[in-house]
Structure 1
């Protein structure tokens, strides 16, 4: 069974890191409305574009998604 994007993202959490994907993960952890069960790029992307003021650039999401795909390969 494949991980959801959120499950993968939580493996990247690190409160002491200033790396962009780790900061994204830390903030997504605090976002109770994050689509935690999704494996769909468009669903997560649309949610973030409309609701994630904590994400300074969608490029960070794109980078995290590529890491997610690589982890599932």
Structure 2
């Protein structure tokens, strides 16, 4: 959610914006598998899982 920016055309920012508005998105989860599975089944706003993988990598780098 820290990557949200409604004025950005960055893929990760757009993903974060869409996930923010997804009422069912598990926003508090820190589990890659759970988030990935949710997006594969429900993330019609995510054109490719590569975007999620990049966002996850940024998340891990920030958490270190």
TM-score, with structure 1 as normaliser: 0.85
TM-score, L = length of structure 2: 0.97
Query: Quick one: higher RCO (CA 8 Å, sep 6+), 1 or 2?
Result: 1
C-alpha distance in structure 1 between counterparts of 2:43 and 2:21, whole Å: 11
Which of 12, 18, 21 is the aligned partner of 2:12?
21
Partner of residue 57, structure 2: 66
Aligned runs of 1:1-73 on 2, under 5 Å? 10-73=1-64
Q: Which runs of 5+ in 1 are unaligned?
A: 1-9
Poorly superposed stretches of 4+, deviation over 4 Å? none
* 1-structure distance, mates of 2:47, 2:10: 13
What is the root-mean-square deviation of aligned Cα atoms in Å?
0.5
Structure 2: gaps spanning 5 or more residues: none
